Chains A and B, each alone.
Chain A
Amino acid sequence: MRIHWNGRGATGRFSIAAEPEAYDATPAVSDFFVDRDMLLLSDDVLSLAAFLAFAPYCSGSLTLPRSVSPELAQAITEFQAPAWVRVANVDMEPRRAPQGSGMALVVDDSLTFEPLPNTWGRARNLAVGVLDSASWAGDLVGTDRLLVASNAHLISQIGPASHAYLPLVATAMLFMESYNCSTLVLPDDAVDAAMWDRLAGLVKAAKFALLRESEARAFLAATTS
């Protein structure tokens, strides 16, 4: 699969597009859209988000939007096993990890949710509400939450159920650096245990941490009291 970063398009939306190669499936949706721009500093973060959007369809050679670290390439291969995937663009040079120390909670298509608490003097935490772009357009930005329309919801619905949460994770991941976040937080029931372990390997390789929502809230409560 060749996955491209298209940036801002003619209708003001940002997109990542997948182009199948010899062993790949044709994706049910070949463009992954989000309705606002973001601050992207790490090539690994962009490439991991791109992979997560199209993971169920990848087999064989995989070219990501940016060259990735060997550890992320290895994590992608392990994530995709037993299907065989080889990342074509790997950069062996050590690179800077994404900066920040806040947490980012992923919320699926909801306008009303409880954001993660923010406390004076502590790292800022974020909640990313991924809205269905078939119902919503554009974005709403706060200092502790971001609501952004994306077709991630559609990609989830049409793709295999086992991978349904990954496009939502991809959307949130694109905005983590914009808010200086380094820990990705998923609702407790977002993915099953097997997928959690596989996803944790990927997130770690991109130099982020992964927590369940109950763990994150407990940690924040314990460390701010």
Chain B
Amino acid sequence: MNDLDISVVIGYKDWGKDRLLGAITSTRGALGDLTGEIIVSDYGSVEYAGYRSAIEEAGAVYVRTETNGVWSRSRALNAGLQHATGRVLVTTDADMVFSPGTFPLVFERLTHDPQQFLLMQCNDLPEGIDHDAIERGRYSWPELSRIATQRPRWGMGGMIAFSREAYFGTRGLDERMEIYGGEDIDFAHRLQRLGLKLTWLAEPGAEMFHVWHPSSRASANETEAGRAAIELNRQIHLHDKTAARNLANWQFAPQDAPPLVSVVISTHNRAAYLGYAIRSVLAQSMPDLELIVVDDGSTDDTRAVVEGFDDPRVRYVHQQQSGIAAARNHATSIARGKYIAVMDDDDLMLPTRLEVSLDAIVEGANGAYGGWAIFREGDGSITLEPGKKLSLEALLFNGAVLTHATILIERRWLLAVPYDETLRSGSDYNLAVRLVRSGARLNHCGQYVLMRRLHDDQITATDPNIQKTSALVTGFWARATMINSDIVAARRDRSTLDQAETPPFAQVERRVVEYLPDDVVSRRVLVHLGAGTRPRSDQVAAILARGRGRVISRAGADVAVAADCEVPDVTLDELLQLREVFGSGLAVETTFRDSGRVIGDVGLSSLAESDWRDLLADDATRTAAVDDLRLALAACAVVVARDRAAVAAAVPALSTLGPVFEYEIDSSDGKQFAAVSPMLGDDVESLALETRRNIDLGEVEFVTISGGEGPA
């Protein structure tokens, strides 16, 4: 990776081959002596036969993405950038022409100062001058320059150049955006938010021309879908002020992209709690993370607990006991994420913690934090701490401003302002004060993000004097610049000045009680099969197999596409596993064991009818949903035989019931073949009889299985 100077990516759908080849020739000419590649990203063109060979013969890389037919310039460029290996990345269009020497200048500028991104002003060529005419030399570059008219300097789709590292920081163009319009300006603004200045490349000998064609923007405006897409893009650009996007799923992530967030847990002899903490991290709705567990000299089962997680995102590091500050600093030194999320070994992250924290990093903030719910072991009583707006005055003269394990902050800040390793306790408060004195800005995300466990083995319980002394010293030091009148003023109205807006208790309680310990609550979970976006494991399959399935939607008369699976007696560990796969596609009913009080409702799907229509339209979701039916449907019809052809002959009859799944079965007496279809109706017996009648039972065996028996 990164062995080339520059990668130029052209995204397109349904462009003529000649124009593409012309663009490749022009771009290649503008690369000069650089080692570079041109990547042509075909985002679902209807006609594409012969394009790959022609494009590759012209010296470019051809990347094709199968789509549902909707053009998205954002996704097309991301699909191309996914394969790019250059240190400098450029995106452009097939209707652009660059004068010779352009890209060496781009490369030189970005190498000299990577804290910028480059744009070029577009020069419109008149109708009649195409790629072919330029390549044949019918016009000299000075002639083209004279005849072209200049566009205003906003709207930057023509060319944008940036470093590879900057691209990773953005997590690509926004993949929600459809067709085109606004995605380029949105991307540019996000680069600025990441600390890159905008530079217009305006040098003699480096010019960009646009080859005339009928306005595609005008044609996009002619359809309702086109207008809706342009409006959607506009709304995203206007209202989403974050830098990093595609949080839940970066569809076209490059292989060498580092994780966006490094979650850091330092631990010492907390094996009993640590597994839950890890599960809660892996169940985050923003999955692009690494989890670094620094074992600070544990003598219990900590290593076994961590290594029991078969997930490449988990990194275990053991060190001789050096204290929590040293352990956290070590984690910072080996972390790869742009951000570090601090986590304690005895707490649980709520599933959207990382996502809502990243969403709150706007307007120059360096990180975010949120409220926390304190639960007491034993009785499960919950106290909410919303947190407060962060300032030096708040830290010095108000309590419960933030809890350290809710902080998510740029890694570079923790490299510059590390934990004070001489403090045995209170290094977290000390760090918060030092960060704020250094100018760090952390935004409150407006949500509760953490379940904080209250138990007898906490430092506040075991080491209160040292912690208080540490806080006292830190506070005294940080007030050094304040005179008496400053302190008097700083103490005034703190409850008003520092107030952070968070949801009310009733709303939060409903969301957090499901994470109370198993000895406090029991749970029933309704899983929306098909909602999952991540691979299922055998453990998750086993959990679902305990459940009772029901189909809640059909596509037309034949194919079931989505189902619910209700699973009783779900443990906390199992719940977190289900969250990891199905995200918000769960409804949980929690019952307090002592009082019998019930919170939540699994009786109804929380998805509206419109959501189901969305599922129907999505092939990937349909496949996932149907796959899950194997595990969870109420009843199935099964045809088994030693002859594959005989089973195939029975498939049409089975398919009148619903989707048919075919299996090869290796048993002790040889290979068998099976076809299985769920029976999706109230009168299962009638369905079975009707199906049986349409199958030649001389060749195959026909059986039915009832629900809850797991995989056929």
**Residues of A at under 8 Å CB distance from B?**
10-13, 20, 22-33, 35-36, 56-60, 82-84, 133-135, 137-138, 151, 154-155, 157-158, 160, 162
Contacts and interface: CB of A to CB of B under 8 A. Distances in A.
A30 B115 contact: no
B198 A11 contact: no
B315 interface: no
B489 interface: yes
B477 A137 contact: yes
Nearest to A31: B439
Contacts of B643: none
Contact of B195 (A57, A155, A157): A57
B481 A154 contact: no
Contacts of B393: 10-11
B392 A59 contact: no
A14 to B, nearest CB: 9
Contacts of A23: 197-199
A56 B114 CA distance: 10
A82 B112 CA distance: 10
B195 A138 contact: no
Given A12-B482, A20-B192, A24-B192, A30 B441 contact: yes
A151 B415 CA distance: 15
B664 interface: no
Contacts of A25: 115-116, 192, 194-198
B437 interface: yes
Contact of B486 (A10, A27, A155): A10
A41 B198 CA distance: 34
Contact of A151 (B366, B438, B483): B438
A29 B116 contact: no
Interface string B170-200: 0000000000000000000000111111111
A28 B195 contact: yes
Closest 8 CB pairs of A and B: A12-B481, A137-B480, A59-B197, A138-B480, A25-B197, A157-B416, A134-B434, A29-B439
Contacts of A33: 437, 439
Interface string B148-170: 00000000000000000000000
A192 to B, nearest CB: 13
B480 A35 contact: yes
Nearest to A132: B438
Contact of A138 (B192, B202, B435, B481): B481
B413 interface: yes
B577 to A, nearest CB: 39
B416 A154 contact: yes
B481 A11 contact: yes
Contact of B412 (A20, A24, A28, A151): A28
Contact of B116 (A59, A133, A138, A154): A59
A57 B392 CA distance: 26
Nearest to B486: A12
Contacts of A30: 364, 439, 441
Interface string B183-226: 00000000011111111101100000000000000000000000
A36 B480 CA distance: 11
Contact of A11 (B392, B417, B435): B392
A84 B200 CA distance: 8
Given A133-B437, A135-B434, 15 more contacts: A10-B393, A10-B490, A26-B193, A27-B195, A29-B440, A32-B439, A35-B480, A82-B199, A84-B199, A137-B481, A138-B480, A154-B438, A157-B412, A158-B412, A160-B114
A24 B438 contact: no
